[in-house]
Amino acid sequence: MDQIVSKVDPKLLELLVCPLSKARLSFDREANELVSEKARLAYPIRDGVPIMLVSEARRLED
């Protein structure tokens, strides 16, 4: 089954920052996540809505 990739408004991406580090986020289209390199966290996007909770974020591996 193919993963459904949500569309994220580019203007929204410009406004969002990591709630932990306050750093800019990049969009990982393949994983459908917003990534904070500074905090080493990836925030999921569900049904087109970024879930900007540290408790919901996935830790990035080195």
Structure confidence by residue, pLDDT tens digits, 1-60: 344 455 677 788 889 999 999 999 999 999 999 999 999 999 999 988 899 999 999 999
| Distance from C-alpha of 33 to C-alpha of 60, rounded to nearest angstrom | 11
Cβ-count burial of 50 within 10 angstroms (0-12 exposed, 13-18 middle, 19+ buried)?
buried
CATH of 10-59, one of 3.50.50.60, 2.20.25.10, 3.40.50.1370, 3.40.710.10: 2.20.25.10
pTM, entire model? 0.82
30 three-class SS: coil
